[in-house]
Structure 1
Amino acid sequence: MSSPNNPADIGNVENGGRHASASPVSYHNKEGSLREPSLMSHRHMSANEYIRTRITTLQPPMHKVKNPIPLLRMLTGRQWALFGVALAAWVKFFQDTWDALDFFTVSLTVSDLAREFNKSKTDITWAITLVLMFRSVGAVIFGVLSDRYGRKWPFIVNNLLFVGIELGTGFCNTFPQFLACRAIFGIAMGGLYGNAAATALEDCPQEARGLISGMLQQGYALGYLLCVVFARALVNTTSHGWRPLFWFASAPPVLIMLARYFLPENDAYISQQRLRAEAEAHENASVSHTFLRQGKVALRRHWLVLVYLVLLMAGFNFMSHGSQDIYPVMLENQFGFNADLVTVTQVVANLGAIVGGIVVGYLSQFFGRRLSIMVCCVVGGALLYPYTFVTSYAVIAAAFFQQFCVQGAWGVIPIHLMELSPGAIRTFVVGTSYQLGNLASSASSTIEARLGENFPLPPTPEGDSRYDYGRVICIFMGCVYAYLLILTFIGPEKMGRHFDAESDEDNADVTGRQVLQAARQTRMSEERKRKGEVEEAA
C-alpha cells in the first residue's frame, strides 16, 4: 500500500464496488461507465501515471442512451416513496425545495425584517451569514448520527428542528431572538443534505441514478420559484407582515416527518447494520466500536479524497453563487430593467436550471460524471458573454441556457458525491463536503459587488450610481469555470459503485474477510426468505 500522502490516492476506485484485481494494468470496469483504473492499480501508481489516466478515463462507454421513462419505472414503490420524502426535505425534489424556500424567505424579506427590528439591511443579512456558518456544524452532527444510527430517525429529528425554528422565527420580537433562530436553522439545514441524498439515492437502481440525481438537486431551483409565489401571497398581505411566510414554512416538515416515519430504513444502511452485527458476533466488538473503526479506516485511506471533495464543492458553490447572487442587481442597476423584467428573467433562468439539472444528470449515466461536468463548464463559459453583455430582452434566453449549464453540472453532484464517499461515513462526507464548500464560497457576492465598484458607469438621470457588474460576473465566472474544469479533470470517478457494506473494500480491513463473508451469507439468506414469502403470498 502506498503512503497516504500519495496524490494518486484521490483516484482510488473500486471497480463498481467489487473487489478489484491487483493487476496494475487492469482498466476494465464492467459495472462502471469508464475505464477507470482499479483500486489496487491506483495504489501502485505514481502521481504522473495517475494524471495520464485522467485522459483515457474520460472516454464514454458508448452505452446506448436509454429512454428515461423505463428508467423511472425501474424504481419500486418503496424507492419512489424514499425519493419523494427526501425530495420533500432537501435531497431530492421537495427536500431541496422547502429548505430553499426557507433560506430564500429571509433573502426576500430583508427590508421588512430591517424595519421590524429597527436594524440596517446589513444587520439582517448577517442572519444569512449565520445560516451558512452553522450549516457545517449541522452536517457534522447529523452526518455522524445518520451513519451510526441510520437515515430514518436523524432525518425525522432534523425536520422536527425545522418545525420549531420556523414557528419560533415567526414569533421573534427581538433581533437577538431572530439571530438565535437563524443559527439553529443553519444547523438543521446543514444536517439535511447528506441524509436526504442518502435516503434518495442509496437504494436507487444503478441505471437510474443520474436521472434521479438531477431531479433531486433541482429542488433548490424549484424552491426559489415557490418562494417567489409564496412571498407575494403571504408577505405584507395581512396585519402580521412578514411572519405568515415563516409560519407557513413550518407545515411541510410535519408531513415529511410523518411520511418518513412510515417508511423503512434504507437497504444500504441495513447492510451496514448486518456487518456490524456479524462483527459483534465473531469478534465480540460492540456496534459502536466497529463504527469507530470503520470511520478511522475510511479517514486514513481516503482523507485526500475528502479534501478533494471540499475543493470541488467550493468551486461548485462559487459557480452557482457567482452566476446568480448579484445578477438581479446587474439587470436593474446596469441594464435598467424594471422589477417585473428582473423577476421574469430570474424565473426563466431557474426554469433553465431545472431542465439542465435533470437533462445533464440523466446524460451523465451514459457519458460519465466527469465528462458531463466538464462539458457544462465549457459550454457555460462560451455563454458568459451574452449572459453578461447583451443588454436587450434577448438576455433572458442567455440566462436560461447559462443556468442550464450551471445547474446541469450541479445535477451530477449528488450521485457523484455519493459514489466517491467512503461507505461507512457516506452521509457525513457528502453533507460536510457540500457545506464546507458552501461556506468557502459565502463571500462570492461580496467579492463581486466590491469588484464592481471599480468599474463605474455613467450615473442614471436621477443621479444614482451605476457599475459594470456584467464585466465582473463574466471575469469571475470565467475563472470559476477554469478552476472546475481542471479540478474535475484530475479528479476520480466511481460511477456504478455498489453502496452495500459487503462490497466495500474498507470493511475487509475493519472486520476481516471472514466477517464480510458471513454478512454476505446472512444477506442472501434473508433475500431467499423474502423471495419465498412473496412467492407463497402469490
Structure 2
Amino acid sequence: MRNYMAAGWFYSPQQIGRYLATRATSLRPPKAKLRNPIRVLRDLNRHQWHMFAVGFLGWAWDSFDFCTVTLCITEIASEFNATNSAVSWGITVTLMLRPVGALVFGGLSDRYGRKGAMIASLFLFIVFELASGFAQSLPQFLGLRALYGIAMGGLYGPAAATALEDLPYDARGILSGVYQNGYAVGFLLSAIFYRALVPTTPYGWRSLFWFGSGPPVLIIAYRWWLPETNSLQVMRAERESAMAQRQAPKSTAMNGTKAWLRDMRVSLKENWVLFVYLVLLMTGFNSCSHGAGDIYATFLKNQVGLGSTEVTAITVVGQIGNIAGGVFTGYVSTFFGRRLSMMVCCILGGALTPAFVLPRSMDLAASSFFFWFFNGGAWGPIPVYLSELSPPVLRTTAIGLTYQLGNLAASAAATIEATIGERFPLPPKDGVKRYDYGRVIALFMAASWAYVFIFLFFGPEMSQEEREEHGAEVDQIERLRKEGVSLAEIGAERAERAKRAGLGDESTRSIYLEKPTDIERIE
C-alpha cells in the first residue's frame, strides 16, 4: 500500500484531518464484480497451487502443535500436581516468545528466501514438540514450550508469503480465508487426535505431543522440492540490479545484503506508524482468538461437566464453522472490502457471544458453530490484509512480527481468564473444584470484539487503483514467464526501468513500485 509522511517522520495535520474525515466513506465496497469462486480458483496454475498448499500445511501443523497444550491442560495439571492456571502458562510463554521467532526468521526470509526460513522453523517444531512429550516436571515443560514459541513465531510470515504472494489478485481473498483457517484445521485435527490418543493410550497426553512431531518431516520434504516464490525472485533480482547500477561491481551476495539493508531502513522510516497500527490491531484479533478458544475446552470439562467425547464433538463442530466463516468472508472481502467484511463479523460474533457460554448441554455445539463462523470470518481476510499493507521489502517480517507482537500483547489471555475464573468458584462435583469460566469468557470476548471493531473502522485499506495495479503486476510476471523470460531478467528490467524513470536513487520498492502519495489517497 502506498504510504507517505508529509512531515518526514510523521503525517502532517492536514493529512491526519483528511484521513479521519474519510474513514466512513472508505468502507464503500470496491468497484469489482462478484465472481464465481470456482472460476476464481481456476485462474491458478500448478505452481501457485503447490506454493499455497505447502504454506497452508505448515500453518495448519503449527496450529496442531500449539493446540496440544490447550486441549490437555487438565491432564497435564493432574500429572504434575499443578493448577490449571499454572499449566496455562505453557500457552502464555509460547505466545510471549513468538515475536522473537518472527523477527529472526522473518528477517532471514526477506533477505535469503522463504524456503530456508520455513524449513528451519519446521525442523525446530519436530525437536521441541517431541521433547515436550518427555518433560518430567512442569518447569521442564514450560521451558520447552517457550523454545517451541520461537519456532512457531518464525513460521507464520514465511508460510503466509509462500502461500499468497504468487496468487492472482482475485484469488487472494478466498485463499487468504482458507490459509488463515489452517489454524482451525490444525485445531480440528488436534481435537480428533486428542480423542484418539489421550484417553486410549497408556502415555496419555504425552502420546499427542509425540504424534505431533511426525508430520512436519513430510512438510519439510514437500517444501524442499518446491522453488522460491516468483515474486521474491523478481524482487531479489531487481534489488541487486539496482544496487549494481549504483556502484562498482561486487559480489552478488554483498550487493544483495547492502540493497536489502538500505531498503529495510527506508521502509521502517516510512511505515513505522503503519506497523504500530498493525500490532495494535493484531492484539485485538489475537485476544478474540485466544480469549474464545484457549480455555474453552476447560470450560466444557470443568464447568459444564462434559466428557472427552462431547468436548471433542463441540470443538470439531466449532472449528468447522471457523473454517467455513473464514473462507466465505475471505472470498467476499475481495468484492466488498477487507475492513467492511471483518467489521460485520465483529458485530455478529459479539451478538452470539452469550449463546457461546450460556447453554449447559450439547446445545453448545450449534451456538459454537455460528460463533466460530464469525470469529473465523473476521480472521479470514487478515493474511491478505497484512500483506497488502506491508512494504514488499519487509513483507515476511512485517506480516510475522506484527501478528506475533499482537500475540505477545494477548498472550496472557488464557492465564487471565483461568485466574479470574478461579475467583468465581462453583459447587464442587465428585471432589473436583469447579469455576465459572463461562462468565469470564463472555466478558473478555465482549471487550475484544468492540476493540477490533473500533480499530478496523479507523484503519487504512488499499484503494481501488492500487488493487488494480497490484493484480496487474502479478499477471505480468506470469505472462512474461510463460513467454520464456526468466525471473532474474524480469527483475533486472524493472530496475532499469526505475532508473530510466528517475527513481534510481530512491529505495527500490520491489515488484510493486510504490510512488509517494499523500495520505488522502490511502483508503
TM score, norm. by length of structure 1: 0.80
Q: Identify which of 377, 381, 406 aligns with 1:408.
A: 377
Q: Check the 8 A contact 1:325/1:445 in 2, yes or no.
A: yes
Q: Does the aligned pair in 2 maintain the 1:349–1:403 contact within 8 Å?
A: yes
Cα distance, 1:105–1:469 mapped onto 2, change above 3 Å:
closer
Determine which of 31, 42, 48 is the counterpart of 1:79.
Answer: 48
Match of 1:349 among 293, 315, 318: 318
CA distance in 1, matches of 2:71, 2:413: 19
Q: How does 1:120-519 map to 2 (within 5 A)?
A: 123-173=86-136, 177-235=140-198, 237-284=200-247, 286-391=255-360, 393-452=362-421, 459=427, 467-494=435-462, 496=467, 498=470, 513-514=503-504
- In structure 2, the residue matched to 1:39 is none
What is the rounded CA distance, in whole Å, between the counterparts of 2:275 and 2:61 in structure 1? 28
- Matched residue, 1:56: 25
Distance 2:421 2:202 in 1: 39
Letter in 2 for 1:270: Q
Distance 1:515 1:83, change over 3 A: farther
Q: How far does residue 193 in structure 1 lie from its aligned partner after superposition?
A: 0.1
Q: Structure 2: which 5+ residue stretches go unaligned?
A: 248-253, 475-490, 514-523
Shift of 1:130: 2.4
More divergent stretch after superposition (384-393 vs 310-319) = 384-393
Query: How far apart are the structure 1 equivalents of 2:197 and 2:380?
Result: 31
Matched, 1:2 2:6: yes
Question: Shift in Å at residue 329 of structure 1?
Answer: 4.1
Question: Residues 286, 108 of structure 1: CA spacing in aligned structure 2 closer, same or farther, 3 A cutoff?
Answer: same
Q: Classify the secondary structure of the residue corresponding to 1:265.
A: coil
AA in 1 matched with 2:70? S
- CA gap of 1:229–1:466, structure 2 versus 1, over 3 A, is closer
User: Do the aligned partners of residues 210 and 323 (structure 1) sit closer, same or farther apart at CA in structure 2, a change above 3 Å counting?
Assistant: same
**Can you list the C-alpha shifts for 1:224-272, whole angstroms capped at 9, x where unaligned?**
2211222233336445554443332222222112111221111111122
Query: Is the 1:210–1:363 Cα contact (8 Å) retained in structure 2?
Result: yes
3-state DSSP class of the match of 1:294?
A: helix
Task: Give the conservation status (yes or no) of the 8 Å contact 1:282–1:515.
Answer: no
Instruction: Report SS of the residue matched to 1:162.
Output: helix
1:165 shift after superposition: 2.6
Q: C-alpha distance in 2, partners of 1:473/1:384?
A: 9
Distance 1:328 1:250, change over 3 A: closer
Letter in 1 for 2:445: M
Structure 1 runs not aligned, ≥5 long: 10-42, 91-96, 524-538
Distance 1:520 1:447 in 2: 42
| Cα shift readout 1:462-506 (whole Å, capped 9, x = no counterpart) | 68665554443333222221111110011011263637789999x
Residues 351-408 of structure 1: CA distance to partner in whole angstroms, max 9, x if unpaired? 1111101111111011010000110011112222333334454443222111111110
CA contact (8 A) 1:275 1:515 kept: no
Flag the 1:206–1:516 CA change in 2: closer, same or farther, 3 A. farther
Whether the aligned pair in 2 keeps the contact of 1:278 and 1:515 (CA below 8 Å) is no
Question: How far is the alpha carbon of 1:125 from its aligned partner?
Answer: 3.5
Equivalent position of 1:24 in the other structure: none
Q: Is the 8 A contact 1:146 1:427 kept in 2?
A: yes
**Contact (CA 8 Å) 1:2, 1:44: kept in 2 or not?**
no
- Bigger relative contact order, structure 1 or 2, given CA contacts below 8 A and separation 6+? 2
TM norm structure 2: 0.82
Deviates more, 1:146-155 or 1:460-469: 460-469
Deviation at 1:413, TM superposition (A): 0.5
Q: Distance in 1 between matches of 2:460 and 2:434?
A: 44
Identity level (%)? 48
What letter matches 1:492 in structure 2? P
C-alpha separation between the residues in 2 aligned to 1:45 and 1:245? Answer: 57
8 Å Cα contact 1:377-1:485 kept in structure 2: yes
Report the Cα offset of residue 273 of structure 1: 1.1
Q: What CA RMSD, in Å, does the superposition of the two structures yield over aligned residues?
A: 3.3
8 Å contact from structure 2 (residues 191, 315) kept in 1: no
- Residues 288 and 228 of structure 1: CA distance in aligned 2, closer, same or farther (over 3 Å): same
Separation in 2, partners of 1:185, 1:198:
21
Asked if the contact 1:275/1:516 (under 8 Å) is kept, the reply is: no
Give CA-to-partner distance per residue, 1:155-199, whole Å, 9 cap, x none: 122222222333333445566654443232211110000000000
Q: Would you say 1:68 and 2:8 are equivalent positions? A: no
